[in-house]
Amino acid sequence: MKNITVIGAGTMGNGIAHVFAQSGFTVNLVDISKEALGKGLKTISTNLDRMLTKGTITEEDKKATLANITSFTDTAEAAKNADLIVEAATENMDLKLKIFKQLDEVAPANAILATNTSSISITKIASVTNRPEKVIGMHFMNPVPVMKLVEIIRGYSTTDEVTKQIMEISKKLNKIPVEVNDYPGFIANRILMPMINEAIYSLYEGVAGVKEIDEVMKLGMAHPMGPLQLADFIGLDVCLSILEVLYDGFKNPKYAPCPLLVNMVTAGKKGVKSGEGFYDYSESKKAEKLAAQFAK
Catalytic residues: 118, 139, 151, 189
Strand order across the beta sheet in which 26-30 lies: 69-72, 26-30, 3-7, 84-87, 112-115, 135-140, 149-154, 176-181
- Nearest-angstrom CA–CA distance, 277 and 179: 33
- Nearest-angstrom CA–CA distance, 117 and 101: 16
What are 289-292's contacts with CB under 8 Å, separation 24+?
290/229, 290/233, 291/143, 291/233, 292/50
Give the residues across from 152 on adjacent strands: 138, 179
